[in-house]
Amino acid sequence: MIYFITLLCGLLFGFGLALSEMTNPAVVIGFLDIFGNWNPSLIIVMAAAVAVSMIGYLISKKQIKPLLTDLWSLPTAKIIDSKLILGSALFGIGWGLSGYCPGPGLTTLTNNPAEGLYFVIALIAGSALYQFQPTK
């Protein structure tokens, strides 16, 4: 059942991205171009996503355990360190240069396969590089 719910959530997420045109890098780059032809639609999409996430989080706080598994899997880190700042900066730079973040970027494999292949290869390479980070 958990796999079906996970698939359903992924499909709903993808549908929302497609419906809001967040799979179109021109829309994302238009949002980031505040001194040019600015497109503020991403603010509405982000606000809706944050609102839905907050509601889900508040509901989860009132439950003793999740519905489909035994334990909660929630982040516990509360510190802002150099890894977080560097990772966030790299994500933002990549997003700003390409107009893709990981979710919408995967849709390029069907929308624009030549460009999508480059994005997915870079996504996998970046994820693999995480394994080689220095440890303390």
Task: Read off the pLDDT of residues 108-135 as tens digits, 9 standing for 90 and up.
Answer: 888 788 888 888 898 888 888 878 766 6
pLDDT of residue 136: 57
Confidence of residue 7 (pLDDT cuts 50, 70, 90): very high
Q: According to the model, what pLDDT value does residue 134 have?
A: 67
The two three-digit tokens of residue 85, written as one number: 């700042």
Other Cβ atoms closer than 10 A to 128: 9
**Domain extents in the chain:** 1-74, 77-136
Q: What are the CB-based long-range contacts (under 8 Å, 24+) for 43-46?
A: 44/20, 45/20
Q: What is the pTM of this model?
A: 0.66
